[in-house]
Structure 1
Amino acid sequence: MQRYFLYFAYDGFRYHGWQIQPNGITVQECVEESLSLILREKISVVGAGRTDAGVHARVMVAHFDVDTVITNLDSFCDKLNRVLPSDIAAYKIVPVKNDAHSRFDAMSRTYHYYVIGNKSPFEERYAWRYHGSLDFEKMNRAASHLFDYMDFTSFSKLHTDVKTNNCRIMQARWEIMDNKAVFIIQADRFLRNMVRAIVGTLIDVGRGKISVIDFCHIIEQKNRCKAGVSMPGNALFLMDISYPDDIFMK
Protein backbone atom coordinates (compact mmCIF):
# COMPACT_ATOMS: atom_id res chain seq x y z
CA MET A 1 0.00 0.00 0.00
CA GLN A 2 1.35 3.43 -0.99
CA ARG A 3 -0.11 6.84 -0.09
CA TYR A 4 0.03 9.81 -2.44
CA PHE A 5 -0.77 13.52 -2.26
CA LEU A 6 -2.65 14.81 -5.29
CA TYR A 7 -2.28 18.54 -5.98
CA PHE A 8 -5.02 19.95 -8.19
CA ALA A 9 -7.22 22.96 -8.97
CA TYR A 10 -10.88 23.41 -9.78
CA ASP A 11 -13.49 25.92 -10.79
CA GLY A 12 -16.25 25.42 -8.23
CA PHE A 13 -18.98 27.07 -10.32
CA ARG A 14 -20.96 23.94 -11.17
CA TYR A 15 -20.15 21.90 -8.05
CA HIS A 16 -22.03 21.53 -4.77
CA GLY A 17 -18.77 21.91 -2.88
CA TRP A 18 -15.93 19.49 -2.26
CA GLN A 19 -17.52 16.76 -0.13
CA ILE A 20 -19.62 13.97 -1.63
CA GLN A 21 -23.35 14.40 -1.02
CA PRO A 22 -26.46 12.69 -2.39
CA ASN A 23 -28.16 15.68 -4.01
CA GLY A 24 -25.52 17.19 -6.28
CA ILE A 25 -22.26 16.72 -8.14
CA THR A 26 -19.12 17.38 -6.08
CA VAL A 27 -15.41 17.74 -6.73
CA GLN A 28 -14.54 14.78 -4.50
CA GLU A 29 -16.87 12.53 -6.46
CA CYS A 30 -15.28 13.47 -9.80
CA VAL A 31 -11.73 13.00 -8.51
CA GLU A 32 -12.51 9.61 -6.96
CA GLU A 33 -14.24 8.36 -10.12
CA SER A 34 -11.34 9.46 -12.33
CA LEU A 35 -8.67 7.90 -10.11
CA SER A 36 -10.65 4.67 -9.81
CA LEU A 37 -11.02 4.44 -13.59
CA ILE A 38 -7.29 4.81 -14.25
CA LEU A 39 -6.07 2.64 -11.35
CA ARG A 40 -8.77 0.01 -11.87
CA GLU A 41 -9.57 -0.19 -8.19
CA LYS A 42 -11.92 1.66 -5.87
CA ILE A 43 -10.13 4.84 -4.72
CA SER A 44 -11.24 7.11 -1.89
CA VAL A 45 -9.65 10.52 -1.42
CA VAL A 46 -9.37 12.66 1.70
CA GLY A 47 -9.22 16.38 1.04
CA ALA A 48 -7.28 19.01 2.95
CA GLY A 49 -10.53 20.85 3.58
CA ARG A 50 -14.15 21.18 2.56
CA THR A 51 -14.89 24.07 0.23
CA ASP A 52 -18.55 25.04 -0.03
CA ALA A 53 -20.72 25.22 -3.13
CA GLY A 54 -19.31 27.59 -5.74
CA VAL A 55 -15.94 28.07 -4.00
CA HIS A 56 -12.83 27.57 -6.14
CA ALA A 57 -9.36 26.20 -5.50
CA ARG A 58 -6.16 27.17 -7.26
CA VAL A 59 -4.42 24.62 -5.02
CA MET A 60 -6.24 21.78 -3.29
CA VAL A 61 -4.53 18.71 -1.85
CA ALA A 62 -6.04 15.29 -1.23
CA HIS A 63 -4.45 12.00 -0.24
CA PHE A 64 -5.30 8.54 -1.48
CA ASP A 65 -3.98 4.98 -1.03
CA VAL A 66 -3.34 2.52 -3.83
CA ASP A 67 -2.33 -1.15 -3.75
CA THR A 68 0.24 -0.86 -6.54
CA VAL A 69 3.02 1.72 -6.75
CA ILE A 70 2.58 4.31 -9.51
CA THR A 71 5.82 4.04 -11.49
CA ASN A 72 5.64 7.17 -13.67
CA LEU A 73 3.98 9.99 -11.76
CA ASP A 74 4.16 12.57 -14.58
CA SER A 75 2.59 10.19 -17.07
CA PHE A 76 -0.09 9.23 -14.56
CA CYS A 77 -0.91 12.91 -13.98
CA ASP A 78 -1.31 13.39 -17.75
CA LYS A 79 -3.69 10.42 -17.94
CA LEU A 80 -5.67 11.75 -15.00
CA ASN A 81 -6.10 15.13 -16.69
CA ARG A 82 -7.52 13.44 -19.78
CA VAL A 83 -10.18 11.78 -17.66
CA LEU A 84 -11.02 14.62 -15.27
CA PRO A 85 -13.67 17.19 -16.29
CA SER A 86 -12.36 20.34 -17.95
CA ASP A 87 -12.92 22.41 -14.79
CA ILE A 88 -10.66 20.19 -12.64
CA ALA A 89 -6.91 20.02 -13.34
CA ALA A 90 -4.29 17.83 -11.67
CA TYR A 91 -0.91 19.52 -11.10
CA LYS A 92 1.19 16.75 -9.60
CA ILE A 93 1.12 13.52 -7.60
CA VAL A 94 3.65 13.07 -4.82
CA PRO A 95 4.43 9.94 -2.74
CA VAL A 96 4.17 10.54 1.00
CA LYS A 97 4.62 8.49 4.15
CA ASN A 98 1.75 6.14 4.88
CA ASP A 99 0.66 8.10 7.95
CA ALA A 100 0.70 11.47 6.15
CA HIS A 101 -2.68 13.21 6.16
CA SER A 102 -3.72 15.95 3.74
CA ARG A 103 -5.97 17.62 6.32
CA PHE A 104 -4.37 17.07 9.70
CA ASP A 105 -0.76 17.60 8.60
CA ALA A 106 -1.44 20.94 6.91
CA MET A 107 0.45 23.75 8.64
CA SER A 108 -1.42 26.59 6.97
CA ARG A 109 -4.01 27.41 4.35
CA THR A 110 -4.32 30.63 2.35
CA TYR A 111 -7.54 32.04 0.90
CA HIS A 112 -8.22 35.00 -1.38
CA TYR A 113 -11.56 36.80 -1.65
CA TYR A 114 -12.02 39.13 -4.64
CA VAL A 115 -14.24 42.20 -4.88
CA ILE A 116 -14.72 44.62 -7.80
CA GLY A 117 -16.14 48.14 -7.93
CA ASN A 118 -17.33 48.23 -11.54
CA LYS A 119 -19.40 45.86 -13.63
CA SER A 120 -17.24 43.47 -15.63
CA PRO A 121 -18.53 40.59 -17.77
CA PHE A 122 -15.10 38.95 -17.47
CA GLU A 123 -14.75 39.08 -13.68
CA GLU A 124 -18.18 38.94 -12.05
CA ARG A 125 -18.21 35.14 -12.09
CA TYR A 126 -15.13 35.14 -9.84
CA ALA A 127 -15.62 38.31 -7.77
CA TRP A 128 -18.25 40.09 -5.70
CA ARG A 129 -19.28 43.50 -7.00
CA TYR A 130 -19.88 46.30 -4.53
CA HIS A 131 -21.77 49.51 -5.14
CA GLY A 132 -20.66 52.92 -3.91
CA SER A 133 -17.29 53.03 -2.19
CA LEU A 134 -15.42 51.05 0.46
CA ASP A 135 -12.86 52.42 2.91
CA PHE A 136 -10.13 49.84 2.43
CA GLU A 137 -7.73 51.65 4.76
CA LYS A 138 -10.26 51.31 7.56
CA MET A 139 -10.94 47.71 6.56
CA ASN A 140 -7.22 46.96 6.82
CA ARG A 141 -7.06 48.51 10.28
CA ALA A 142 -9.90 46.24 11.35
CA ALA A 143 -8.29 43.21 9.70
CA SER A 144 -5.04 43.84 11.59
CA HIS A 145 -6.90 43.15 14.86
CA LEU A 146 -7.54 39.54 13.75
CA PHE A 147 -4.01 38.82 14.95
CA ASP A 148 -5.06 39.78 18.49
CA TYR A 149 -7.52 36.88 18.85
CA MET A 150 -7.63 33.09 18.76
CA ASP A 151 -11.34 32.27 19.23
CA PHE A 152 -13.34 33.04 16.08
CA THR A 153 -16.73 31.66 17.10
CA SER A 154 -18.34 34.87 15.79
CA PHE A 155 -17.25 33.94 12.26
CA SER A 156 -18.12 30.23 12.39
CA LYS A 157 -21.15 28.52 10.90
CA LEU A 158 -23.50 27.51 13.70
CA HIS A 159 -23.86 23.93 14.97
CA THR A 160 -20.65 22.48 13.54
CA ASP A 161 -18.97 19.44 15.09
CA VAL A 162 -15.50 20.92 15.67
CA LYS A 163 -13.90 20.64 19.11
CA THR A 164 -12.47 24.16 19.14
CA ASN A 165 -13.04 27.45 17.35
CA ASN A 166 -9.45 28.58 17.94
CA CYS A 167 -7.37 29.51 14.90
CA ARG A 168 -4.04 31.27 14.51
CA ILE A 169 -4.16 33.98 11.86
CA MET A 170 -0.85 34.50 10.02
CA GLN A 171 -1.89 36.96 7.30
CA ALA A 172 -4.93 39.22 6.96
CA ARG A 173 -4.93 42.21 4.62
CA TRP A 174 -6.62 43.87 1.66
CA GLU A 175 -4.60 44.60 -1.46
CA ILE A 176 -5.92 47.00 -4.12
CA MET A 177 -5.38 46.38 -7.84
CA ASP A 178 -7.05 49.04 -10.03
CA ASN A 179 -10.75 48.13 -10.10
CA LYS A 180 -10.22 44.96 -8.07
CA ALA A 181 -9.37 44.32 -4.42
CA VAL A 182 -8.42 41.05 -2.79
CA PHE A 183 -8.58 40.01 0.84
CA ILE A 184 -5.67 37.68 1.65
CA ILE A 185 -5.92 35.55 4.76
CA GLN A 186 -3.70 32.73 6.00
CA ALA A 187 -4.23 30.62 9.12
CA ASP A 188 -3.31 27.28 10.59
CA ARG A 189 -6.97 26.24 10.24
CA PHE A 190 -10.31 27.73 9.26
CA LEU A 191 -13.85 27.24 10.54
CA ARG A 192 -16.85 26.63 8.30
CA ASN A 193 -17.77 29.88 6.48
CA MET A 194 -15.07 31.73 8.45
CA VAL A 195 -13.47 33.64 5.57
CA ARG A 196 -16.79 34.66 4.04
CA ALA A 197 -18.09 35.85 7.43
CA ILE A 198 -14.92 37.85 8.12
CA VAL A 199 -15.15 39.50 4.69
CA GLY A 200 -18.83 40.29 5.21
CA THR A 201 -18.04 41.98 8.54
CA LEU A 202 -15.11 43.89 7.05
CA ILE A 203 -17.42 45.11 4.27
CA ASP A 204 -19.64 46.55 7.03
CA VAL A 205 -16.56 48.36 8.34
CA GLY A 206 -15.75 49.68 4.87
CA ARG A 207 -19.30 50.96 4.38
CA GLY A 208 -19.24 52.75 7.73
CA LYS A 209 -21.93 50.57 9.28
CA ILE A 210 -19.61 49.56 12.12
CA SER A 211 -16.32 50.91 13.49
CA VAL A 212 -12.99 49.17 13.93
CA ILE A 213 -13.75 48.96 17.65
CA ASP A 214 -17.15 47.41 16.84
CA PHE A 215 -15.33 44.81 14.73
CA CYS A 216 -13.21 43.83 17.73
CA HIS A 217 -16.26 43.69 19.99
CA ILE A 218 -17.97 41.34 17.53
CA ILE A 219 -15.05 38.90 17.81
CA GLU A 220 -15.06 39.18 21.59
CA GLN A 221 -18.80 38.43 21.85
CA LYS A 222 -18.30 34.97 20.25
CA ASN A 223 -21.74 35.20 18.69
CA ARG A 224 -22.25 34.53 14.97
CA CYS A 225 -25.45 36.59 14.98
CA LYS A 226 -23.43 39.74 15.76
CA ALA A 227 -21.15 39.45 12.72
CA GLY A 228 -21.83 40.38 9.10
CA VAL A 229 -23.38 38.25 6.40
CA SER A 230 -21.60 35.28 4.83
CA MET A 231 -20.41 36.52 1.44
CA PRO A 232 -21.14 34.62 -1.80
CA GLY A 233 -18.83 31.67 -2.48
CA ASN A 234 -18.06 32.47 -6.12
CA ALA A 235 -15.44 35.08 -5.15
CA LEU A 236 -13.51 32.82 -2.75
CA PHE A 237 -10.39 30.89 -3.76
CA LEU A 238 -8.30 28.43 -1.79
CA MET A 239 -4.83 29.49 -2.93
CA ASP A 240 -2.25 27.44 -1.06
CA ILE A 241 -1.70 24.72 1.56
CA SER A 242 1.64 24.17 3.28
CA TYR A 243 3.02 20.95 4.79
CA PRO A 244 6.11 19.94 6.76
CA ASP A 245 8.90 18.50 4.62
CA ASP A 246 9.24 15.31 6.65
CA ILE A 247 5.93 13.77 5.50
CA PHE A 248 7.19 13.42 1.92
CA MET A 249 9.11 10.43 0.61
CA LYS A 250 12.76 11.22 -0.06
Structure 2
Amino acid sequence: MRCALTIAYNGTDFLGSQAQKSSSNTILGNLEKVLLQLSIDSKIIASGRTDKGVHATGQVCHIDLPPFWDDLEKLKRVLNEMLPPSIRIKYAKEVDAEFHARYSAKKRVYRYIIKESKSNPFEDNFITFLDSVDFEKLEKNIKLYIGEHDFANFMKTGSDTKSSVREVFKAFAYKHNGYIVLNFEANGFLRSQIRLMVSALLKLEKKELEEQLKCESNYKIKPAPSNGLYLARIKY
Protein backbone atom coordinates (compact mmCIF):
# COMPACT_ATOMS: atom_id res chain seq x y z
CA MET A 1 0.00 0.00 0.00
CA ARG A 2 1.28 3.46 -0.89
CA CYS A 3 0.73 5.93 1.92
CA ALA A 4 0.92 9.72 1.88
CA LEU A 5 2.03 11.38 5.11
CA THR A 6 1.31 15.04 5.80
CA ILE A 7 3.91 16.31 8.23
CA ALA A 8 4.37 19.43 10.35
CA TYR A 9 7.73 20.23 11.88
CA ASN A 10 9.73 22.81 13.77
CA GLY A 11 12.91 22.93 11.71
CA THR A 12 14.99 24.87 14.23
CA ASP A 13 17.22 22.04 15.43
CA PHE A 14 17.42 20.05 12.18
CA LEU A 15 19.83 20.23 9.25
CA GLY A 16 16.97 20.62 6.78
CA SER A 17 14.42 18.07 5.62
CA GLN A 18 16.48 15.99 3.19
CA ALA A 19 18.15 12.77 4.36
CA GLN A 20 21.94 13.12 4.48
CA LYS A 21 24.73 10.55 4.53
CA SER A 22 26.79 12.65 6.94
CA SER A 23 24.06 13.13 9.54
CA SER A 24 20.71 11.64 10.56
CA ASN A 25 19.68 14.94 12.17
CA THR A 26 17.23 15.85 9.43
CA ILE A 27 13.46 15.55 9.21
CA LEU A 28 13.55 12.56 6.86
CA GLY A 29 16.54 11.11 8.69
CA ASN A 30 14.53 10.96 11.91
CA LEU A 31 11.47 9.59 10.10
CA GLU A 32 13.53 6.93 8.34
CA LYS A 33 15.07 5.79 11.63
CA VAL A 34 11.64 5.34 13.22
CA LEU A 35 10.16 3.61 10.17
CA LEU A 36 13.00 1.07 10.18
CA GLN A 37 12.18 0.27 13.81
CA LEU A 38 8.67 -0.54 12.59
CA SER A 39 10.05 -2.82 9.84
CA ILE A 40 9.19 -0.31 7.11
CA ASP A 41 12.21 0.00 4.83
CA SER A 42 10.54 1.91 1.99
CA LYS A 43 12.37 4.91 0.59
CA ILE A 44 10.77 8.15 1.76
CA ILE A 45 9.93 10.57 -1.06
CA ALA A 46 9.12 14.15 -0.07
CA SER A 47 7.34 16.83 -2.08
CA GLY A 48 10.51 18.91 -1.87
CA ARG A 49 13.31 19.88 0.46
CA THR A 50 13.41 22.60 3.07
CA ASP A 51 16.65 24.18 4.29
CA LYS A 52 18.08 24.16 7.79
CA GLY A 53 15.83 26.09 10.16
CA VAL A 54 12.82 26.19 7.81
CA HIS A 55 9.51 24.93 9.20
CA ALA A 56 6.50 23.16 7.70
CA THR A 57 2.82 22.87 8.42
CA GLY A 58 2.03 20.74 5.38
CA GLN A 59 5.03 18.82 4.02
CA VAL A 60 3.96 15.67 2.14
CA CYS A 61 5.90 12.40 1.77
CA HIS A 62 4.98 9.04 0.37
CA ILE A 63 6.11 5.57 1.44
CA ASP A 64 5.20 2.03 0.41
CA LEU A 65 4.01 0.00 3.37
CA PRO A 66 4.40 -3.76 3.91
CA PRO A 67 1.09 -5.71 4.11
CA PHE A 68 1.11 -5.96 7.92
CA TRP A 69 0.83 -2.16 8.23
CA ASP A 70 -2.73 -1.69 7.01
CA ASP A 71 -4.05 0.39 9.94
CA LEU A 72 -3.02 3.93 9.02
CA GLU A 73 -4.50 5.56 12.12
CA LYS A 74 -2.44 3.22 14.27
CA LEU A 75 0.64 3.95 12.16
CA LYS A 76 0.14 7.69 12.63
CA ARG A 77 -0.27 7.27 16.37
CA VAL A 78 2.82 5.07 16.72
CA LEU A 79 4.94 7.38 14.58
CA ASN A 80 3.96 10.38 16.69
CA GLU A 81 4.84 8.46 19.85
CA MET A 82 8.30 7.61 18.52
CA LEU A 83 9.26 10.76 16.62
CA PRO A 84 10.76 13.81 18.35
CA PRO A 85 8.01 16.21 19.55
CA SER A 86 9.16 18.77 16.96
CA ILE A 87 7.96 16.44 14.16
CA ARG A 88 4.27 15.53 13.93
CA ILE A 89 2.38 13.34 11.46
CA LYS A 90 -0.88 15.19 10.78
CA TYR A 91 -2.44 12.74 8.33
CA ALA A 92 -1.70 9.29 6.94
CA LYS A 93 -3.84 8.16 4.04
CA GLU A 94 -3.82 5.55 1.30
CA VAL A 95 -3.10 6.87 -2.21
CA ASP A 96 -2.91 5.36 -5.68
CA ALA A 97 0.22 3.38 -6.53
CA GLU A 98 1.04 6.04 -9.18
CA PHE A 99 0.97 8.87 -6.64
CA HIS A 100 4.33 10.61 -6.24
CA ALA A 101 4.79 13.18 -3.47
CA ARG A 102 7.08 15.32 -5.63
CA TYR A 103 6.07 14.76 -9.24
CA SER A 104 2.31 14.61 -8.66
CA ALA A 105 2.33 18.01 -6.93
CA LYS A 106 0.72 20.80 -8.96
CA LYS A 107 1.23 23.75 -6.61
CA ARG A 108 3.33 24.53 -3.56
CA VAL A 109 2.41 27.16 -0.99
CA TYR A 110 4.90 28.87 1.32
CA ARG A 111 4.48 31.60 3.90
CA TYR A 112 7.07 33.95 5.34
CA ILE A 113 6.35 35.68 8.66
CA ILE A 114 7.80 39.02 9.75
CA LYS A 115 7.23 41.14 12.84
CA GLU A 116 8.13 44.79 13.32
CA SER A 117 9.57 44.49 16.80
CA LYS A 118 12.59 43.61 18.86
CA SER A 119 13.06 39.87 19.04
CA ASN A 120 11.91 37.86 22.02
CA PRO A 121 12.97 34.38 23.20
CA PHE A 122 9.51 32.87 22.68
CA GLU A 123 9.20 33.65 18.96
CA ASP A 124 12.78 34.11 17.79
CA ASN A 125 13.01 30.67 16.14
CA PHE A 126 9.76 31.15 14.23
CA ILE A 127 9.61 34.76 13.03
CA THR A 128 11.94 37.23 11.35
CA PHE A 129 12.06 40.39 13.44
CA LEU A 130 12.75 43.72 11.74
CA ASP A 131 12.89 47.22 13.19
CA SER A 132 10.71 48.65 10.45
CA VAL A 133 8.98 47.52 7.25
CA ASP A 134 7.51 49.64 4.46
CA PHE A 135 4.38 47.52 4.20
CA GLU A 136 2.80 49.58 1.42
CA LYS A 137 5.87 49.07 -0.77
CA LEU A 138 6.02 45.38 0.16
CA GLU A 139 2.34 44.84 -0.62
CA LYS A 140 2.72 46.51 -4.02
CA ASN A 141 6.05 45.01 -5.16
CA ILE A 142 5.32 41.41 -4.18
CA LYS A 143 2.82 41.27 -7.07
CA LEU A 144 5.72 41.62 -9.52
CA TYR A 145 6.54 37.97 -8.88
CA ILE A 146 3.22 36.75 -10.30
CA GLY A 147 3.58 35.02 -13.66
CA GLU A 148 6.25 32.93 -15.36
CA HIS A 149 9.80 34.19 -14.83
CA ASP A 150 13.36 32.99 -15.07
CA PHE A 151 14.40 33.01 -11.41
CA ALA A 152 18.10 32.49 -12.16
CA ASN A 153 18.91 35.45 -9.88
CA PHE A 154 16.78 33.98 -7.09
CA MET A 155 18.43 30.65 -6.44
CA LYS A 156 21.33 29.48 -4.35
CA THR A 157 24.65 29.08 -6.16
CA GLY A 158 25.32 25.47 -7.08
CA SER A 159 21.67 24.49 -7.37
CA ASP A 160 21.16 21.32 -9.40
CA THR A 161 18.28 22.14 -11.72
CA LYS A 162 17.58 21.80 -15.43
CA SER A 163 15.63 25.04 -15.63
CA SER A 164 15.30 28.11 -13.42
CA VAL A 165 11.93 29.07 -14.95
CA ARG A 166 9.01 28.85 -12.54
CA GLU A 167 5.41 30.09 -12.61
CA VAL A 168 4.11 31.98 -9.58
CA PHE A 169 0.31 31.83 -9.36
CA LYS A 170 -0.15 33.94 -6.22
CA ALA A 171 2.05 36.38 -4.33
CA PHE A 172 0.56 38.71 -1.75
CA ALA A 173 1.19 40.27 1.65
CA TYR A 174 -1.19 40.90 4.51
CA LYS A 175 -1.18 41.81 8.19
CA HIS A 176 -2.55 39.46 10.82
CA ASN A 177 -2.54 40.00 14.59
CA GLY A 178 0.56 42.16 14.50
CA TYR A 179 2.45 39.98 12.00
CA ILE A 180 3.24 40.57 8.33
CA VAL A 181 2.62 37.45 6.27
CA LEU A 182 3.99 36.97 2.76
CA ASN A 183 2.24 34.24 0.78
CA PHE A 184 3.71 32.55 -2.31
CA GLU A 185 2.09 29.85 -4.47
CA ALA A 186 3.86 28.40 -7.50
CA ASN A 187 4.34 25.25 -9.54
CA GLY A 188 7.72 24.89 -7.85
CA PHE A 189 10.53 26.77 -6.17
CA LEU A 190 14.29 26.72 -6.57
CA ARG A 191 16.65 26.25 -3.66
CA SER A 192 16.46 29.31 -1.36
CA GLN A 193 14.26 31.05 -3.95
CA ILE A 194 11.64 32.31 -1.51
CA ARG A 195 14.19 33.60 0.99
CA LEU A 196 15.91 35.50 -1.83
CA MET A 197 12.55 36.81 -3.06
CA VAL A 198 11.76 38.08 0.43
CA SER A 199 15.17 39.66 0.79
CA ALA A 200 14.78 41.40 -2.59
CA LEU A 201 11.40 42.77 -1.53
CA LEU A 202 12.90 44.22 1.63
CA LYS A 203 16.07 45.64 0.07
CA LEU A 204 15.41 46.55 -3.57
CA GLU A 205 13.35 49.31 -5.13
CA LYS A 206 10.71 48.46 -7.72
CA LYS A 207 12.97 49.19 -10.73
CA GLU A 208 15.79 47.10 -9.28
CA LEU A 209 13.44 44.21 -8.52
CA GLU A 210 12.12 44.31 -12.10
CA GLU A 211 15.69 44.22 -13.44
CA GLN A 212 16.49 41.29 -11.14
CA LEU A 213 13.42 39.39 -12.39
CA LYS A 214 14.25 40.06 -16.03
CA CYS A 215 17.87 38.97 -15.43
CA GLU A 216 19.00 42.38 -16.68
CA SER A 217 20.94 43.00 -13.46
CA ASN A 218 22.00 40.85 -10.55
CA TYR A 219 21.91 42.72 -7.29
CA LYS A 220 23.83 40.56 -4.83
CA ILE A 221 21.56 39.96 -1.85
CA LYS A 222 21.67 37.45 0.97
CA PRO A 223 18.68 35.17 1.59
CA ALA A 224 16.27 36.28 4.29
CA PRO A 225 16.65 34.28 7.54
CA SER A 226 15.32 30.73 7.42
CA ASN A 227 13.37 30.91 10.69
CA GLY A 228 10.52 32.96 9.18
CA LEU A 229 9.78 30.50 6.35
CA TYR A 230 7.08 27.81 6.36
CA LEU A 231 6.12 25.18 3.80
CA ALA A 232 2.39 25.58 4.25
CA ARG A 233 0.69 23.28 1.76
CA ILE A 234 1.17 21.02 -1.24
CA LYS A 235 -1.68 20.94 -3.76
CA TYR A 236 -2.28 17.83 -5.90
The interval holding the TM-score normalised by the smaller chain is over 0.9
Which structure shows the higher helix fraction? 1
Please name the residue that 1:49 is paired with. Answer: 48
Identity across matched positions, percent: 28
Alpha-carbon displacement from aligned partner over 1:161-187 (angstroms, at most 9, x marks no partner): 211111111111111135321111111
Aligned mates of 2:212, 2:165 — CA distance in 1? 15
Residue 122 of structure 1: CA displacement?
A: 2.2
The equivalent residue for 2:127 is 127
* Secondary structure in structure 2 of the residue aligned to 1:124: coil
Aligned to 1:32: 32
Q: Using the alignment, how far apart are the partners of 2:216 and 2:98 within structure 1?
A: 35
Instruction: Kindly indicate whether the alpha-carbon contact (under 8 Å) linking 2:149 and 2:213 is maintained by their aligned counterparts in 1.
Output: no
Residue 86 (structure 1) shift: 0.8
Of 199, 205, 211 in structure 1, the residue corresponding to residue 205 of structure 2 is 211
Higher strand share: 2
Name stretches of at least 5 consecutive residues in structure 1 with no aligned partner. Answer: 205-209, 244-250
Alignment of 1:134-153 (within 5 A): 134-153=133-152
Q: Which amino acid aligns with 1:31?
A: L
Give the structure 2 partner of residue 176 of structure 1. Answer: 175
Aligned length: 234
AA in 1 matched with 2:82: V
For residues 109-164 of structure 1, the C-alpha deviation after alignment (integer angstroms, 9 at most, x for no partner) is: 11111111112332222111112x22111112211111144211111112222111
Structure 1 position 240 matched with structure 2 position 233:
yes
Report how far residue 95 of structure 1 moved. Answer: 1.3
Quote the Cα distance in structure 2 between the aligned partners of 1:188 and 1:220. 19
Aligned 8 A contact 1:151 1:222 in 2: no
Relative to structure 1, the CA distance from residue 222 to residue 75 in structure 2 (aligned partners, 3 Å threshold; closer, same or farther) is farther
Aligned partner (choices 215, 231, 234) of residue 224 of structure 2: 231
* Unaligned segments of structure 2, at least 5 residues: none
TM-score normalised over the length of structure 1: 0.88
TM-score, length-scaled by structure 2: 0.93
Offset at residue 59 of structure 1 (A): 0.8
Following superposition, which runs of at least 4 residues in structure 1 exceed 6 angstroms of deviation?
none
Counterpart-to-counterpart distance in 2, 1:222 and 1:157? 18
Conserved? CA contact 1:110–1:184, under 8 Å: yes
* Root mean square deviation, CA, Å: 1.6
